[in-house]
Structure 1
């Protein structure tokens, strides 16, 4: 009887060992994966904090540069206004107190780090026409008759010629001036040697600081 009982027990290796090996590998793999996840959770935010600190430093540096540029720009603007320059939109304008030829006017504006006024649109023309003065503008056809260009070399497109102008009377009217009129179409062509006052223009943006 006793022998029969022992004979009913399974023979050979205990089948619990293979199962225990699989569980061990699963647990080990899971722990490894958890370590990777934990490292990601810790390292990635740390990297982001480093990047944020670097970006913050760069922002602060750029802000200081901008503040300095604004300060320099305001100081320059105040000085020019005291010197007689007028501010309109993004440009400064200076009306001379002396008279000279068109070439003398051009040279004087260049000495002021500016140029003879270039009129780009109706609003700018109205601003200058309201001065009710006769002065040189930066427009000429000296290189080729009838081919009017501004002092920066751009071709004339928007035009505000007075009635019947330009006429090129005498064949030597190659420079443009404005004339006092009750309307904005007040340009006239005259000899470039005519004594006139003039208007200089220069940009007044932070990009020019």
Structure 2
């Protein structure tokens, strides 16, 4: 008689442990979409800051262009000074780096399609003051001692412009040409010997 494996209820065993709940992948993905990752948030801040910097730079460039835009004439044509010249009002100014006599300085200005500067106001004088210690300007009293005339034929207004202390004084046996001084306790127009070697200031106007 064949025998078969014996089985009974006591032979069946089952392990029962604590119940563990596993996260739902779909729910985790949804939560991630609702709350940006810290790294992604940092990138967005950087991009936003960069965009604001670009906008500010554009505004600054426009402001600078408006600030340095040259004046225009009646026909609306934009005016500008030659390279190396300075602009003030409707004039361009060239300040030399060399030193020459008054007559040689004026000749250089004429060759540049200009003339030695004619100072018409205290504002113009203030603008030109400080570039050099001494520079020839376009005034002289050669024709009549004590009567100062600009190179354009107009008379120098001694009361309107600033003269250096005690000037003009006609020292050294005759000082018939004018320069602009910027020295300690000696600032303003000054009479000087025409043969002396100074720097000089040329001026050309738009009209």
When normalised by structure 1's length, the TM-score is 0.58
Deviations along 1:40-64, one digit per CA (max 9) or x if unpaired, are xxxxxxxxxxxxxxxxxxxxxxxxx
Contact conserved, 1:160 with 1:184, CA < 8 A, in 2? Answer: no
Q: CA deviation at 1:195?
A: 0.3
Which sections of structure 2, spanning at least 5 residues, go unmatched? 1-74
2:110 matches 1:110: yes
2:96 matches 1:96: yes
> Counterpart of 2:172?
170
Matches within 5 A, 1:51-62: none
> Counterpart of 1:140?
140
Name the structure with the higher helix share.
1
> Counterpart of 1:46?
none
Deviations along 1:126-181, one digit per CA (max 9) or x if unpaired, are 10113243100001101110010000110111332111111111222001111113
Contact conserved, 2:105 with 2:136, CA < 8 A, in 1? Answer: yes
- Taking the aligned partners of 1:90 and 1:188, their CA distance within structure 2 comes to 25
| Pairwise CA RMSD | 2.1
| Secondary structure class of the residue paired with 2:136 | strand
> Where in structure 1 do 4 or more consecutive aligned residues deviate above 3 Å?
181-185
- Taking the aligned partners of 2:185 and 2:144, their CA distance within structure 1 comes to 29
- Taking the aligned partners of 1:110 and 1:153, their CA distance within structure 2 comes to 16
2:139 matches 1:124: no
> Counterpart of 2:49?
none
The 1:130/1:151 distance shift into structure 2, 3 A limit, reads: same
Count of residues in Structure 1 that have an aligned counterpart in Structure 2: 132
